[in-house]
Amino acid sequence: MNVAQLLSALRQETKRRAYIRRLDVLDLSQNLIKIRLYLSPSLFVQVYRNAHFDTTNLVLIHNEQRIYARDQVNGIWHRHTATNPHKHDTSAEGRRPVNLSEFLDEVEAVLAAMGLP
């Protein structure tokens, strides 16, 4: 997905998911995007894509700590599970590519399991 497509998907998901309170663009160029989707002041999803290096980071952050993530580096995906967010999960499920909508569905499941808004 290129940066323009990702930005469009982010705007659509923000409209579709009522719990996303705010979309903040932190960095944007032809090959790079960094955006935060705020759910509360201390809870947000950060989305980063660098098309030049084929790198994607989708991260759920609470109180300045990663609690769940999916990352793509050089086209290869891994996951940081909610039960062990500092470890790279390279299992078949961890390596499975996800799109933005799928990741946000996973975020909803993580938040529900943790009792977070």
Q: How far is CA 61 from CA 29, 32, 36, 43, in A?
A: 24, 20, 10, 6
| Whole-number pLDDT of residue 1 | 78
Q: Tell me how far apart the alpha carbons of residues 46 and 8 are, in angstroms, rounded to a whole number.
A: 15
Q: What is the pLDDT of residue 62?
A: 97
Query: pLDDT at position 110, please?
Result: 97
In this prediction the pTM is 0.95
What are the pLDDT digits (tens) for 56-108?
A: 999 999 999 999 999 999 889 999 999 999 999 999 999 999 999 999 999 99
What distance in Å separates the CA atoms of residue 51 and residue 2, rounded to the nearest whole number? Answer: 6
